[in-house]
Structure 1
Amino acid sequence: MPHCETIILAGGFSSRMQGFKPLYPLGNATVLERAVAAFRDAGVERVLVVTGYRAGDLAPAISAANAEPVFNPGYDQGMFTSVQAGVRSLSRDCESFFVLPVDIPLVRPATVARLMDAFHNDASVLYPNFQGERGHPPVLAACLREPILGHTGEGGLRGVLAQEEEQRPERVRDVAVADQAVLLDMDREEQYRRLQARQQGMRVPTPEECEALFHMAATPHHVRGHCRAVSLVARELGRAWRNGGKGDVDLEFIVRAALLHDVGKGSKPHETTGGRMLARAGFEEMGRVVACHGDAHLDGNEPITEAEIVFLADKLVIGEQAVSLDQRFQAALERYGHESEVKQ
Structure 2
Amino acid sequence: MTGIIILAAGSSSRLGKPKQNLIFKGKTLLQRAIETAIASVCEPVMVILGGNAAVIEPTIKNYDINIIHNPEWDEGMSSAIRTGISGLLKIEPNIQSVILMLCDQPFTDTYLLNHLIMANEEQGITACSYNNTTGPPVLFDAVYFNELLLLKGAEGAKKVIRKYPDKVIKILFPLGSVDIDTIEDFEQLNRE
TM-score normalized by the length of structure 1:
0.51
Tell me the equivalent position of 1:325: none
Whichever residue aligns with residue 126 of structure 1, its letter is T
Of 128-137 and 62-71, the range deviating more from structure 2: 128-137
Q: Which runs of 4+ in 1 moved over 3 A?
A: 130-133, 151-156
Structure 2 runs not aligned, ≥5 long: none
1:31-50 paired onto structure 2 within 5 Å: 31-50=29-48
CA displacement 1:170-211 (0-9 Å, x = unmatched): x211123xx43322101011111222244xxxxxxxxxxxxx
Aligned residue runs from structure 1 range 4-19, under 5 A:
4-19=2-17
Aligned residue for 2:137, secondary structure, equals coil
Partner of 1:195: 189
Structure 1 unaligned residues grouped into runs of 5+:
199-344
Q: Distance in 2 between matches of 1:144 and 1:36?
A: 24
Q: Is the 1:39–1:109 contact (alpha carbons within 8 Å) kept by the matching residues of 2?
A: yes
Q: How many residues align?
A: 189
The equivalences for 1:1-344 within 5 A come to: 3-90=1-88, 91-121=92-122, 123-130=123-130, 133-153=133-153, 155-165=155-165, 169=166, 171-176=167-172, 179-198=173-192
Cα distance per residue 1:196-236 (max 9 Å; x no partner): 244xxxxxxxxxxxxxxxxxxxxxxxxxxxxxxxxxxxxxx
Are the aligned partners of 1:136 and 1:183 in contact in 2 as well (CA < 8 Å)?
no
**Mapped partners of 1:110, 1:151: distance in 2:** 29
1:29 and 1:160 map into 2 onto residues whose CA distance is: 33
Does the CA-based 8 Å contact 2:76-2:154 persist in structure 1?
no
Q: Give me the whole-angstrom Cα distance separating, in 2, the residues matched to 1:64 and 1:154.
A: 31
CA distance in 2, matches of 1:34, 1:162: 29
Higher helix share: 1
Deviation (angstroms), 1:132: 5.5
The residue type equivalent to 1:181 in the other structure is L
Judged with a 3 Å threshold, the aligned counterparts in structure 2 of structure 1 residues 184 and 149 are, in CA distance, closer, same or farther, namely same
Q: Distance in 2 between matches of 1:132 and 1:148?
A: 23
The 3 A distance-change label for structure 1 pair 59 and 119 is same
- Give the strand-richer structure, 1 or 2: 2
Contact 2:10 2:50 in 1 (8 A): yes
Q: Offset at 1:130?
A: 4.4
Query: For residue 75 of structure 1, what is the amino acid of its counterpart?
Result: W
Is the contact made by 1:16 and 1:188 (CA closer than 8 Å) also made in structure 2? yes
Q: For the residues of structure 1 that align with 2:162 and 2:135, how far apart are their CA atoms?
A: 14
RMSD of aligned residue pairs (Cα, Å) = 2.0
Q: CA separation in 1, counterparts of 2:133 and 2:148?
A: 24
Q: What CA distance in whole angstroms lies between the structure 2 residues aligned with 1:30 and 1:141?
A: 30
- Distance in 2, Cα, partners of 1:131 & 1:113: 22
Counterpart Cα distance in 2 of 1:32 and 1:197: 20
Deviation string 1:243-297 (CA, Å, 9 cap, x unpaired) is xxxxxxxxxxxxxxxxxxxxxxxxxxxxxxxxxxxxxxxxxxxxxxxxxxxxxxx
Q: Secondary structure of the residue that 1:137 maps to in structure 2?
A: strand
The secondary structure found in structure 2 opposite 1:89 is helix
**1:228 alignment counterpart:** none
Deviation at 1:153, TM superposition (A): 4.4
TM superposition score normalised by structure 2: 0.88
Instruction: Work out which of the two has the higher radius of gyration on C-alpha atoms and give 1 or 2.
Output: 1
